[in-house]
Structure 1
Amino acid sequence: MADIIENEELDKDTVDSNTLKQLFNKNYDLLAETTVSEKKSYVNKIHGTKSLKLAVSVSNNNGIEVYELGNNTLKQVCRLSGHQKPVTDVLFSSREDHMLYSSGLDGLVKLWDLRASGSCVQEYKDEEEQIIRPYECMDVSCNGRVICAGSQLVEDDAYLVFWDSRMPKPLGGYWNSHTDDITQVKFHKEKTEILASGSIDGLLNIFNILEQTEDDALIYSLNVENSVEKISWLDSKRAACTTQSNDLQLWDTETGDQLKSYSRDKISRSIKRSKDDDCYLVDIFTSIDDTPVLLAGSNAGDGDVLRSITIAEKKLQPCTNFTQNKQIVRCCWYEKDVSMNHLTFDLQ
């Protein structure tokens, strides 16, 4: 057994340090860092505003930490407490950066007002209060009017529940389109009626929520053939999803065609690492020049390897090597309309 462990291949760079600098030639500086929790946990979700307020949720924690970035420091604004079980998602309002939404495994979606030291001003509940639907994810439409939360499997059904953001009672829900925990819901960036959802069942569903029934609303049910981890809208018609086995897929949501699939080993080679089993995907977003950017890293050693690659003409190209990173990154937030436009949080 010892021989097997000693002979096991260790993940390492496949090129020398000078070549790395030449390949990953877009540089970012670390402006600030802070320890969110000293317990054995990690940052689970992060979201921010153009005014550089940041909200983070921590694994195995029922609270939300809110910070503000200024003068190269992260200053804690407040801590939000009110969920009875771990928080699963955080999202600032697109209209008012002092308003923050959250979802939790307690079956609640909450709206917080940061001006009043972080008080809960609205609680969105199910009509059937005797049934708790643990919410794994949530999102708000681009006009701020509709909230959607996706639940774990409850009595053989996984629910997409909708609310008018001004009302505590739900508008309705879908429960026939997924057969396992719903891991992601993402509204279209411009079309208020278009929603994408992903699940452990391996389906990426595209809905038009203006339709009267769930069957009519379901435009496409795309077979990812793997559990969906995260979804991102890249532009008006392209959606990307990362899977729980660290693959990346791009889909045309107007035709239902898969545009490209990138396996974990291919991504590992693109970030110039030798062992694909150690490679992990953080998220994908669209940069300031509308180029898709994938953030990926390696679990090897201290987990300090974090790099980004761009997708141009369906090819993966090296972009940035975040040499000041210290630990494994679980999530990121990117805002292309501010000069300091790439923020990530590490395992703390």
Structure 2
Amino acid sequence: MEGMDMDVEESEPSFNSKHLKRFGLKNTIQTNFGEDYVFQIVPKDDLTSMAVSLSTNAVKLYSPETGQYFGELKGHSSTINEISFSGSTTPNVLHSCSSDGTIRAWDTRSFHQVSSVSAGPSQEIFSFSVGGSGDNLLAAGSKSQIFFWDWRTKKQIACLEESHMDDVTQVQFVPDHQNKLLSASVDGLMCIFDTRGSINDDDHLESVINVGTSIGKVGFFGGASQKLWCLTHIETLSVWDWKDARIEVNFEDARTLASDSWALDHVDYFVDCHYSGQDDRLWVIGGTSAGTLGYFPVDYKGKGSIGSPEAVLHGGHTGIVRSVLPLSGMRGGPTRTLGGVFGWTGGEDGRLCCWMPDESSDANRSWISSKLVMKSPKTRRKSRHHPY
């Protein structure tokens, strides 16, 4: 772990973002000594550990509270595309899927692999999800196919080959509807399946939603998880009611709307969305190629709008940010706190950055003022950067 020294800049009152939350950089961790990327950061349920996938085809484990390094999980022979901790029944198990065609389970106490399944020698697995009755069904998205295994026996029980025409980038069992699976693909389609019984394309495909362009990331939110946000590879954002297959709002110019609401450089890409069930609020997290992030509130009702950022994370990264792990601190954010830490970010500079509310004595207050969200009279550079 190494600190980062920065010049101190006094904060000024912000007049155009009444909810602006100021955060400071507590510390940074350099995860490697080369030019490797941080792909994804995920937390263990009890927040005693976080897993970080890297472009070295390995996963490293750290303490979210202190940044202490615990150990490394090594075994994949190609890019790790998704990682996720298991639920409360097996809290020390982490799953990972890779372009090497495997999904592996790891014991995060011993750092050893405990089981795996394979989709075949020429397959790549881009996403996975565990659900179904008793959480025993493992689904995975591959090259235009969706595989299913019984996680108890590791036996493949189905393969859907007709629903998508291109890489399946996302599969997710729907929260509160564990027999419903959503898949999303580069072909621009999202499909909803009922996974009960003997799974096949003809009888189990319930609905198809045409987004119209390659889909990068999706997430469920709202009461009974009925809403669905969708980020595409051309940086558009849309919100859907998946039960009715109905679009609620489509932000084709999402980057421009976000860019116009702060005084920093153009928003080049979106990293993720964050939802607070407590206040029923949705944010889209946008970033610049220089590594600054903004939490932009999304009004998805009526005509829809993207507002001024309510948090800005600036000064920690020097490149594109790939993953954000919020832990606490923002209005309407997660209710559990962890040593006052707001969250962690990781990116293409190989850094993990820890952020704290800047009223904390441990935070470096160097990086944020109202200048970050005030409108600037200068013309903003309208660059178009595609990080993926």
Q: Which band: TM-score by shorter chain?
A: 0.7 to 0.9
Give runs of ≥4 in structure 1 deviating > 6 Å: none
1:17-56 correspondence runs (5 A) = 19=14, 22=17, 25-52=20-47, 53-56=49-52
What do the CA deviations read for 1:286-323 (whole angstroms, capped 9, x no partner)?
Answer: 12533112111112xxx132100122343323321123
CA distance 1:20–1:84, shift in 2 (3 Å): farther
1:318-329 correspondence runs (5 A) = 318=308, 319-327=310-318, 328-329=320-321
1:122-201 correspondence runs (5 A) = 122-126=115-119, 129=120, 131-141=121-131, 144-151=135-142, 153=143, 158-201=144-187
2:100 counterpart (106, 126, 131): 106
Output the aligned Cα RMSD.
2.4
What do the CA deviations read for 1:191-224 (whole angstroms, capped 9, x no partner)?
Answer: 1111111111111122221254222222221111
Q: What letter matches 1:226 in structure 2?
A: T
**Contact 1:93/1:144 (<8 A) preserved:** no
- Of all paired residues, the percent bearing the same amino acid is 24
Q: Return the alpha-carbon distance in structure 1 between the equivalents of residues 206 and 261 of structure 2.
A: 35
**Contact 2:14/2:20 (<8 A) preserved:** no
The question of 1:89 aligning with 2:89 is answered no
1:249 counterpart (231, 235, 238): 238
Q: What letter matches 2:54 in structure 1?
A: V
The corresponding residue for 1:295 is 285
What do the CA deviations read for 1:40-73 (whole angstroms, capped 9, x no partner)?
Answer: 22111221123321111112x2211111123xx2
User: How many residues are aligned here?
Assistant: 317
Q: Return the alpha-carbon distance in structure 2 between the equivalents of residues 283 and 167 of structure 1.
A: 34
Q: Return the alpha-carbon distance in structure 2 between the equivalents of residues 273 and 171 of structure 1.
A: 53
The corresponding residue for 1:343 is 344
Shift in Å, 1:76: 1.3
Q: What letter matches 1:190 in structure 2?
A: D
Q: What letter matches 2:234 in structure 1?
A: S
Shift in Å, 1:337: 4.7
Q: Return the alpha-carbon distance in structure 2 between the equivalents of residues 81 and 332 of structure 1.
A: 23
Shift in Å, 1:274: 7.4
Matched position secondary structure for 1:197? strand
Shift in Å, 1:225: 1.0
**Contact 1:110/1:122 (<8 A) preserved:** yes
Matched position secondary structure for 1:326? coil
**Contact 1:268/1:279 (<8 A) preserved:** no
1:55-94 correspondence runs (5 A) = 55-59=51-55, 61-70=56-65, 73-94=66-87
**Contact 2:39/2:347 (<8 A) preserved:** no
Q: Return the alpha-carbon distance in structure 1 between the equivalents of residues 93 and 63 of structure 2.
A: 14
The corresponding residue for 2:216 is 229
**Contact 2:254/2:306 (<8 A) preserved:** no
Higher relative contact order (CA 8 A, sep 6+): 2
2:325 counterpart (333, 339, 347): 333
**Contact 2:258/2:306 (<8 A) preserved:** no
**Contact 1:24/1:321 (<8 A) preserved:** no
- 235-244 vs 325-334, greater mean Cα deviation: 325-334
Q: Return the alpha-carbon distance in structure 2 between the equivalents of residues 219 and 27 of structure 1.
A: 45
Shift in Å, 1:346: 2.9
Shift in Å, 1:88: 1.3
Q: Return the alpha-carbon distance in structure 1 between the equivalents of residues 279 and 166 of structure 2.
A: 37
What do the CA deviations read for 1:135-172 (whole angstroms, capped 9, x no partner)?
Answer: 11112228632221111x3xxxx211112222222121
Matched position secondary structure for 2:28? coil
Q: Return the alpha-carbon distance in structure 2 between the equivalents of residues 197 and 105 of structure 1.
A: 18
Q: Return the alpha-carbon distance in structure 1 between the equivalents of residues 21 and 279 of structure 2.
A: 14
The question of 1:285 aligning with 2:274 is answered yes
Matched position secondary structure for 2:181? strand
Q: Return the alpha-carbon distance in structure 2 between the equivalents of residues 78 and 248 of structure 1.
A: 36
2:258 counterpart (255, 268, 278): 268
Q: What letter matches 1:321 in structure 2?
A: V
Gaps of 5+ in 2: 1-11, 328-333, 351-388
Q: Return the alpha-carbon distance in structure 1 between the equivalents of residues 99 and 87 of structure 2.
A: 24
Q: TM-score, normalised by structure 2?
A: 0.75
Gaps of 5+ in 1: 1-16
The question of 1:306 aligning with 2:298 is answered no
